[in-house]
């Protein structure tokens, strides 16, 4: 039941944001619709990124997705994670953020969905597949890093 609640939460967040951004009228009451999380292939970091992350972080990872303007905290520019970390890509940190085990800079804003339980649900609780999802996302985001 906990997992189901998490799913609705993340999906609702994304839909509200998209609606607000598309209408360019965040003050208007948004239409909330429940849709199931899609099952993007766990072996493609790129497809998962486009399905799960691009709505906020942008397809290029720079933080300018369609929902970005509706966020209290702007989505992080994911292309400068290495640059901001002295040139070293913080893979472990990125993995922890995706799973919801790391404090994000604006911890407590909860603007970023917690993906661990969502991935666990679409992977039928198979931890190996959840791990594969996180690993492939982390690797894909590494390819987006600017020098
Ligand atoms: C609903 C919008 C939204 C979605 C969808 C989203 N994020 Fe985020 N993300 C944010 C926001 C907003 C932040 C800024 C930090 C915060 O909220 O504390 C963030 C921050 C991050 C950070 C940086 C944290 C840090 O410590 O610098 C990473 C890494 C990240 N997101 C990865 C992802 C990945 C990978 C996905 C897809 C699986 C994803 N995000 C989906 C909104 C989103």
Reported as a single tens digit per residue, the pLDDT across 115-144 is 888 899 899 999 999 999 999 999 999 999
φ/ψ of residue 35, rounded to 5: -130, 145
Q: Which two tokens stand for residue 136?
A: 């492939």
- Separation of alpha carbons 102 and 114, rounded Å: 10
Q: What pLDDT is recorded for position 105?
A: 57
Q: Which atom of ligand 1 is nearest to the CA of 102?
A: 26
Pocket test for ligand 1, best of 7, 75, 114 (most atoms within 8 A of CB): 75
Residue nearest to atom 25 of ligand 1 (CA): 104
- Separation of alpha carbons 45 and 95, rounded Å: 13
Q: Which atom of ligand 1 is nearest to the CA of 110?
A: 17
Mean pLDDT rounded to a whole number for the chain = 79
Note down the domain range covering 84.
2-143
- Low pLDDT (below 50) residues in the chain: 1, 5, 12, 16-34, 106-108
Residue nearest to atom 29 of ligand 1 (CA): 94
Q: How many percent of the chain have pLDDT more than 70? A: 70
Residue 43 contacts by C-beta under 8 Å, 6 or more apart in sequence?
Answer: 132, 136
Q: What pLDDT is recorded for position 116?
A: 87
Determine whether the shortest distance from the Cβ of 143 to ligand 1 is under 6 A.
Answer: no
Q: For the chain, what is the domain count?
A: 1
Burial of 45 (0-12, 13-18, 19+ CB in 10 A): buried
Residue nearest to atom 8 of ligand 1 (CA): 112
């Amino acid at each position: 039941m906990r997992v189901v609640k998490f799913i609705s939460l993340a999906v609702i967040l994304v839909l509200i944001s998209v609606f607000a951004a598309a209408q360019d009228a965040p003050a208007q009451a948004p239409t909330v619709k429940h849709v199931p999380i899609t099952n993007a292939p766990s072996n493609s970091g790129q497809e998962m990124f486009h399905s799960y992350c691009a709505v906020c972080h942008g397809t290029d990872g720079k933080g300018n997705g369609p929902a970005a303007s509706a966020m209290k905290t702007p989505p992080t520019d994911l292309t400068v994670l290495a640059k901001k970390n002295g040139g070293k890509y913080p893979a472990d940190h990125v993995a922890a953020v995706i799973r919801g085990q790391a404090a994000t800079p604006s911890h407590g804003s909860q603007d970023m969905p917690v993906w661990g339980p969502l991935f666990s649900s679409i992977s039928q609780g198979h931890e190996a597949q959840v791990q594969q999802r996180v690993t492939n996302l982390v690797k894909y985001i590494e390819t987006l890093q600017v020098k």
